[in-house]
């Protein structure tokens, strides 16, 4: 892939957010439940493929506005940014290294994190803390929560907050 969105570090991503760029989460809906960038367009999709289609539909009439894509580690954004460009989006940026690297840069350089909450990860931890903000809501009681777990029913295995 050669025609991908511009790779942005944390400082540039934050600045472009402040300038009013559209921020688009390219993760699956369950990943956004416990953390996301302020004001981001969040998917309702179960899969990456569905998320790309969903975001294309929502942004169809905004192809000439600045769009910032982000995901966990940068791989999905690389693919999505190429597809956005192929579909005629003219100002596409992507968070280089994803939320994982953004969190490292924020900590290393003392930047304000525009990402709030925890970052969903695909290992036994399920999430790592980025900020102390709790953006999730418990499915059962409705109170703020950022704990995530797999349903204990083996045939279900749905992720629950």
20-33 per-position pLDDT tens digit: 999 999 998 888 88
Residue 140 exposure: Cα atoms within 13 Å on the Cβ side: 9
Token pair 């999709």 in the structure block, residue:
45
Residues with catalytic roles: 71
What pLDDT digit, counting tens, does each position of 107-119 carry? Answer: 999 999 999 998 8
The count of other CB atoms within 10 Å of the CB of residue 159 is 17
Domains along the chain? 6-160 (3.40.250.10)
Buried b (16+ CB within 10 A) or exposed e, 24-56: bbbbbbbbbbbbbbeebbbbebeebeebbebbe
132 has a pLDDT exceeding 90: no
Query: According to the model, what pLDDT value does residue 45 have?
Result: 86
Among 131, 71, 65, 122, residue whose Cα is nearest residue 96? 71
Q: What average pLDDT does the chain have? A: 87
């Amino acid at each position: 892939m050669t025609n991908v969105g511009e790779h942005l570090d944390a400082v540039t991503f934050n600045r472009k957010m402040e300038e009013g760029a559209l921020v688009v989460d390219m993760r699956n809906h369950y990943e956004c439940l416990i953390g996301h960038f302020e004001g981001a367009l969040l998917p309702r999709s179960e899969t990456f493929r569905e998320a790309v289609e969903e975001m294309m539909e929502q942004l169809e009439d905004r192809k000439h506005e600045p769009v910032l894509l982000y995901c966990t580690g940068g791989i999905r954004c690389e693919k999505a940014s190429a597809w956005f460009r192929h579909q005629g989006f003219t100002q596409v940026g992507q968070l280089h290294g994803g939320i994982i690297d953004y969190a490292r840069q924020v900590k290393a350089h003392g930047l304000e994190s525009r990402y709030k909450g925890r970052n969903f990860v695909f290992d036994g931890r399920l999430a790592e803390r980025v900020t102390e903000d709790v953006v999730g809501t418990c499915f059962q009681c409705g109170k703020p929560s950022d704990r995530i777990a797999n349903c204990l029913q083996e045939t279900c295995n749905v992720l629950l907050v």
